Amino acid sequence: MDGRLITEMRTAAVSAAATKLLASPDVKILAILGSGVQARSHAEALRLVRDFNEIHIWSPTREHAERFAREIGAKAMSGEEAVREADVVVTATNSKTSILRGAWLKPGCHVNAVGACRPDWRELDDDAMANVVFVDSREGALKESGDIILSGAAIHAELGEALAGKVPSRASETTIFKSLGMAVEDIAAAILVYRSVVTEN
């Protein structure tokens, strides 16, 4: 079983669950900052939970952004242009410094932040992190997420708490889902794959 593929798929699946819960039902524009495997898997997964009229792409390497945009029927543009009118934003880069500014975010939009998985890396600036922040794991975020640690952001809740109805989703506000990934997600994804194969055979 390919661990890389499972991680790629389940990361996007968790972001899709967050988007379904936290983004407005009538979103129109998706912005993806990044052009690698996570950007691609997010483009696929988020279309399963929302109907987007437009997808905007930015990547640190312009030619990568343009190629990815062509492949998925999107438009490549600057980071600020991509984000300004977006209802849902995905940050999926290897950046060690902020690439998304809170000043660019449309009020009420939802952000899935999936890059910056080390305590000294970040993708979102302090203004962005001042919004309503959800994480997959409080413990993990406080140890590993530079976006949380370096901004001193307050964590509103774990995504699981909101999915279980234990805390309000606050979907009418600007929300950030900081995703680091959890081993249990890999296990759950692997079990689904295994059961599907066993059932077919």
C-alpha distances in angstroms, 149 versus 14, 47, 129, 133, 139? 22, 31, 10, 13, 12
Q: Write out pLDDT tens, residues 32-79.
A: 999 999 999 999 999 999 999 999 999 999 999 999 999 999 999 999
Amino acid at 196: S
- Selection from 143, 138, 174 nearest residue 154 by Cα: 138
- Selection from 13, 167, 31, 15 nearest residue 109 by Cα: 31
- Selection from 123, 117, 111, 167 nearest residue 141 by Cα: 117
Residue range 3-194 in CATH 3.40.50.720: yes
φ, ψ of residue 70 to 5 degrees: the values are -60, -45
- The DSSP line for 74-98 is -EE--HHHHHHT-SEEEE----SS-
For helices 62-72 and 37-46, the axis angle rounded to 10 degrees is: 30
Amino acid at 57: I
Local mean pLDDT, 10-residue blocks, the chain (201 residues): 57 93 95 96 96 97 97 97 98 94 97 91 96 94 94 95 91 92 51 63 62
Q: What is the pLDDT of residue 169?
A: 85
Q: What is the pLDDT of residue 182?
A: 46
How far apart CA 166 and CA 199 sit, in angstroms, is 35
pTM metric for this prediction: 0.87
How far apart CA 137 and CA 114 sit, in angstroms, is 13
Element (H, E) at 71: helix 62-72
Domain ranges of the chain: 3-194
Residue with the two structure tokens 């690439």: 99
